[in-house]
Amino acid sequence: MELPVVDDTGIWNAWMTMLNVPAISASLELGIFESLNTEPASAIDLARRLGYQERAMKALLPVLCHLGFLNDYNGAWQLSPMARQYMLEDSAFFWGGVFRREGRMLVRHKLLIETITGKREKHEGRDRPAESWESGQVDMAMAREITAFMHSQSMAAAVGMTHSADFSKISRVLDVGGGSGCFMIALAQALPDIRCTIMELPSICELAREYIAEGGVSDRVDTVSVDMFREKWPAGYDAHFFSNIFHDWSFNTCRELAKSSFEALEPGGKILLHEMLLHDSGHSPYPAINFSLLMAIGTLGQQFTLPQLEDILQSAGFVNVSSLNTYGYYSIVSAEKPA
Ligand SMILES: C[S@@+](CC[C@H](N)C(=O)[O-])C[C@H]1O[C@@H](n2cnc3c(N)ncnc32)[C@H](O)[C@@H]1O
């Protein structure tokens, strides 16, 4: 498939703005500006001081910094002059009237408050897919919605990857949590000899087969229904590909996934992690920081820095970790199982 004529970075920039207002309105409601005005703090110290969730605070504060409300001063977040002027109750120029009203009208404001405080209500909707993924049970309505969502989000990156990453020495790829199969469809269309398998939950396998048939590669891309946490992984693959999988889970769960991959891979095989990386500080770039906040709200994960992924991979036994920017904001972090 040809590359899109324009890359998708502009779409990501536009989409991720959806979290800007909730980040401000939730921070106001939860006293985050007032607390940082009293005393600057790291995300962990602020979470402890206010009794909030550390993962959520680590994801939220870089977004407020990017928006110009905070500065990082030697590892402690402090209010910027703009925040002191407009985000504090006793300021004559307080914008609370606007952001309190905006917050009341936004679903993501409510979800973010619940994420930060850890007091989650049961939702009827499909706001937190990781709750179904954890149980390994995804009904067909949820599967259809999330798979279509991921397909739109990933298709350009999938085609982009085939133009930048070198798969020429790989013959059989297992795409763990492959969703619609878009990455393996693009790969099979680009490389006539490669064989690929989408490893997914049963309902998603059913949908992936439709996408694969539509892509015209059913002869070389198949599916296998395996719960990656509860069932044995198939053998015989020289590469395991994970796109947007590690960012759904905690560091410990990612270590377990890396270990399962290491055990199932052929000696000399490769693990490939397709993720939108954070810079080493963890505080940039936009839109990866907003994406990380979205992961805090909807999943058990976060975006990673390269050193964090390197640590996870090495702890499972992988060697020769390297990273390549493949398309738009996405990179592949790869490593090898020793031969
Ligand atoms: C964020 S989506 C990524 C989809 C695709 N890799 C992409 O980047 O477009 C996460 C995928 O992991 C799959 N998944 C979640 N839990 C799983 C499990 N226990 N076993 C297998 N797949 C799982 C979901 O069904 C979903 O398709």
User: Hey, where are the domains in the chain?
Assistant: 9-121, 139-336
User: Which of ligand 1's atoms lies nearest the C-alpha of 182?
Assistant: 9
Residues 227-249 pLDDT 10s: 999 999 999 999 999 999 999 99
Q: In this structure, which residue's CA is closest to atom 1 in ligand 1?
A: 244
User: Which of ligand 1's atoms lies nearest the C-alpha of 248?
Assistant: 1
Q: Which residues lie with the beta carbon below 6 Å from any ligand 1 atom?
A: 133, 136, 138, 150, 154, 177-179, 200-201, 204, 227-229, 243-245, 248
120: confidence class by pLDDT, cuts 50, 70, 90: confident
Per DSSP, the residues of 4-67 read PSS-THHHHHHHHGGGHHHHHHHHHHTTHHHHHHHS-B-HHHHHHHHT--HHHHHHHHHHHHHT
pLDDT at 125: 58
For residues 18 and 291, give the distance between their C-alpha atoms in angstroms, rounded to a whole number. 10
What burial class does residue 209 get, using C-beta atoms within 10 Å of its C-beta: 0-12 exposed, 13-18 middle, 19+ buried?
middle
Q: In this structure, which residue's CA is closest to atom 8 in ligand 1?
A: 243
Residue 178 Cα to ligand 1 middle (Å)? 6
Residue 142 Cα to ligand 1 middle (Å)? 12
Residues 272-303 pLDDT 10s: 999 999 999 999 999 999 999 999 999 999 99
Q: In this structure, which residue's CA is closest to atom 27 in ligand 1?
A: 179
Residue 207 Cα to ligand 1 middle (Å)? 13
Residue 69 Cα to ligand 1 middle (Å)? 35
pLDDT at 188: 98
Under 8 Å between Cβ of 126 and 142: yes
Residues 10-57 pLDDT 10s: 999 999 999 999 999 999 999 999 999 999 999 999 999 999 999 999
Q: Which of 339, 331, 39 is nearest to 164 (CA)?
A: 331
pLDDT at 131: 81
CATH superfamily assigned to domain 139-336: Vaccinia Virus protein VP39 (3.40.50.150)
Q: In testing the pocket of ligand 1, which one of 229, 232, 248, 276 has its CB within 8 Å of the most ligand atoms?
A: 248
Q: Is the pLDDT of residue 123 over 70?
A: no
Q: What CATH architecture is 9-121?
A: Orthogonal Bundle (1.10)
User: Which of ligand 1's atoms lies nearest the C-alpha of 133?
Assistant: 16
**CB within 8 Å of 111: residues ≥ 6 apart:** 22, 127, 297, 298
Task: Name the token pair of 168.
Answer: 């020429």
Cis geometry, peptide bond prior to residue 307 (ω within 30 degrees of 0): no
Secondary structure letter of residue 132 according to DSSP: H
Helix (H, G, I), strand (E, B) or coil at 55: helix
Residue 13 Cα to ligand 1 middle (Å)? 24
pLDDT at 272: 98
Residue 224 pairs in a beta bridge with 199
Reported pTM: 0.97
User: Which of ligand 1's atoms lies nearest the C-alpha of 204?
Assistant: 25
